[in-house]
Amino acid sequence: MEPVLEVVDLKKWFPGVKANDGVNLTVRAGEVHAILGENGAGKSTLMKVIYGLLEPTAGEIRLFGQPVHFRSPRDAILAGIGMVHQHFMLIPALTVAENVVLGDEPGGVRFDRRQAVQRVRELSERYRLAIDPNAKVGDLTVGLQQRVEILKAFYRKARVLILDEPTALLTPQETRELFNIIRTLKAEGTPVIFISHKLDEVLEISDRVTVMRAGKTVETIDTKGATPQTLANLMVGREVVLRVEKPPAKAGSPALEVRGLRVRSADRHERVKGVDLTVRRGEILGIAGIDGNGQFELADAIAGLLRAEEGQIVLDGRDITHLSPAERTQLGIAYVPQDRQLDGLILAFDLADNVILRDFRRPPFSRRGILNRRAAEAYAKRLIEAFDVRPPDFRRKASELSGGNQQKVILAREVSRDPLVLIAAQPTRGLDVGAIEGVHRQLVRLRNEGKAVLLISLELDEILSLSDRIAVMHDGEIVGVLDGAEATREQLGLMMTGQRAKEGTV
């Protein structure tokens, strides 16, 4: 088959960093080509170069056999490259049709709305991207917003579609729909470049995979015949343990009990509607659920960040319902929040300040209100070493670290406080295989040491592989609690939509 896009020995060097250092890639017509690599492997840089956002240091890009030099995304778009970024570039206040045509509106001086709607409708029928052109983008789900982005690309006559981490923000259902869209495109002959660090998705959707590591393309292989293990090893460059090894649970006395808890979120909506839950020492209790069903508000309420409207939270026999977040921290609740950059870290602080964020009011980090910087530095040095944070320099600002290393810092801080209960909300979101392995190992280690772990995740595989018991949450309620070893994806999937478990607790 004729190559659509070729990248030959591409290099993109930044001062001190070789983000791309010898990238070779051939995308054929009508194939779904996955680019797989850990965070920081150079996938995004490569895409930016292809899309004209960055100029390459050396090397060549050929489109349909012709060498191209893009000075800006506009050149790339004109040449037929369509890109859907991980973070959408949409205007929420405008309608779908307005967003799609934005920058290339039909009509002369006057904007021809009717024609815009008409064109968008045609496109959405042709590519089977069902969407209402008149809907306001701000009202759409993330999955539908992504369709708008894809439509935008085709409106600009894209001949190659690049999807940058397209499933990062999608629910499992939305991911499935996206995959159907990709299959339709493929059947139409449009090549799709699918950038991801999720092995199972790459295996499911792609025809060929190019693996990147440390700025270089390691290998391109046919997806048929590849296994998660081979891909993971290629990505990381060593044998990776994909399955979490854990001894049978030795669940002890209840560490955390939640009774009849009702919580309103910051926008005053009731999100948790009467939850009863017990987490025992030495077990991982997983909470499965589709995003937005109250699981993160539950976590915030236990940590004390949201007020309990009703009900009781009991830690180790002690009622903590009305204690402040600081007091709960003190009593042994550790919390890895869902959004590490928004809640878990102060990005402009360096690592030494971030590791003492929860404890700066106590010795040795301060005495009588005076900070002891040296103690913070010594502590940071220890944690950085123990958790292999890179770069190993406590003077670095948190913002200068990769997502995986930011998460390591949070985990190090929370776990090292020797907590009684660890609440981990989406602890591996956006992390790569190697980093996920590390986080999972920490959670299991805590459990084996007899701590209680409350794991909240949107990734069913993570819940299934780690949890000793699984509580499924839907619309602010616990639909049922299953045994972790016996639960199946199908069962959980059904319960996540609100159907009660046939047997078991209600």
Partner 1 sequence: MKALQSILLPVAASLVAIVIGAILVAALGYNPVSVYGSLVSGAFGSLGNLGNTITASLPLIIIGLGIALSFQSGLFNIGADGQYWIGATAAVWVGYHFTSLPGWLHMVLCLLAGMLAGAIWAGIVPGLTKAFVGAHEVITTMMMSYIAILFARYLIEGGPMQQKGYIPQSPLIASNTQFPYFTQGFQQAQLSPISMIIAAIAVLAAWFLLYKTTLGFSLRSVGLNARAAKYAGIRVKLYIVLALALSGLFAGLAGAVQMLGVDHQLLDGFSSNYGYTAIVVALLARNNPLGVIISGLFFGALTTGGQNMQIASNVPASLTNVLEGLIIFFVGCERIIPQVIGWYRRRRSARAQTPAS
The residues of the shown chain that bind partner 1, judged by CB under 8 A, are 69, 303, 305, 324-327, 329, 335, 337, 342-349, 353, 357-358, 360-361, 366, 369-371, 373
Cβ at position 358, least distance to partner 1 in Å:
6
Nearer of residues 4 and 333 to partner 1, judged by Cβ: 333
Cβ at position 178, least distance to partner 1 in Å:
30
- DSSP string computed for 348-385: TSBHHHHHTTTTTTSTTTEETTEE-HHHHHHHHHHHHH
Nearer of residues 249 and 305 to partner 1, judged by Cβ: 305
Phi and psi torsions of 171, nearest 5°:
-80, 165
Q: What is the DSSP letter of 417?
A: T
Tokens 């609440």, residue? 423
- DSSP string computed for 208-271: EEEEEETTEEEEEEESTT--HHHHHHHHHTS----SPP-PPP---SEEEEEEEEEEE-TTS-EE
Nearer of residues 327 and 385 to partner 1, judged by Cβ: 327
Phi and psi torsions of 329, nearest 5°:
-55, -45
C-beta pairs of 216-223 under 8 Å, 24+ apart in sequence:
216/21, 216/22, 216/23, 216/42, 217/22, 217/23, 217/24, 217/25, 220/25, 220/26, 223/34
Q: How far apart are CA 265 and CA 300, in angstroms?
A: 9
Cβ at position 397, least distance to partner 1 in Å:
10
Nearer of residues 343 and 459 to partner 1, judged by Cβ: 343
Nearer of residues 255 and 345 to partner 1, judged by Cβ: 345
Nearer of residues 168 and 305 to partner 1, judged by Cβ: 305
Q: Which of 428, 501, 435, 420 is nearest to 458 (CA)?
A: 428
Q: How far apart are CA 240 and CA 232, in angstroms?
A: 7
* Contact (Cβ atoms closer than 8 angstroms) between residue 332 and residue 438: no
Nearer of residues 84 and 320 to partner 1, judged by Cβ: 320
Nearer of residues 243 and 368 to partner 1, judged by Cβ: 368
Cβ at position 329, least distance to partner 1 in Å:
5
Structure tokens at 15: 């001062």
